[in-house]
Amino acid sequence: MQLGMIGLGRMGASMVRRLTRGGHTCVVFDARADAARALVHPGAVAASSLADLVARLTRPRAVWLMLPAAVVDPELESLVPLLATGDIVIDGGNSFYRDDIRRGAELTARGIHLVDVGTSGGVAGLGGATV
């Protein structure tokens, strides 16, 4: 499986490492270019922009957001015009569920799927379980 990951803080970066350990490939992007470059390893390539991330993904694309709730809407404003019918956006951050209900309706109208997946690293995070 191929996945785009936007937001490479502790949880996003750990998810990329876990996914690639399991044989998946990831295209990674963060507003801090150094965070994306630091995560490059077999199975993970850095994108220089949202447009670059989208261009590197095979359709239908799956793009996972690991962002604070306050920046999800602005990020979607930049990302959604780059996506196409059938693509999937996964909100793995701490968004309020009613915001994702609204976002889901907005994206559905554009033929894009939204999956609301609140994610927690838990006590152990990456070190706890294996893929």
**How many angstroms separate the CA atoms of 55 and 52, rounded?**
5
Given a cut of 70, whether residue 128 has pLDDT beyond it is: no
108: nearest Cα among 129, 92, 88: 88
Q: Where are the domains of the chain?
A: 2-121
Q: Write the pLDDT tens digit of every residue in 95-113.
A: 888 999 999 999 999 999 9
Mean pLDDT of 104-126: 82
Distance, CA of 112 to CA of 82 (rounded, Å): 11
Q: What is the pTM of this model?
A: 0.89
CATH number of 2-121: 3.40.50.720
Let me know: does 87 contact 112? Beta carbons within 8 Å. yes
Q: Does the pLDDT at position 83 exceed 60?
A: yes
In this prediction, residue 123 has a pLDDT band, given cuts at 50, 70 and 90, of: very low
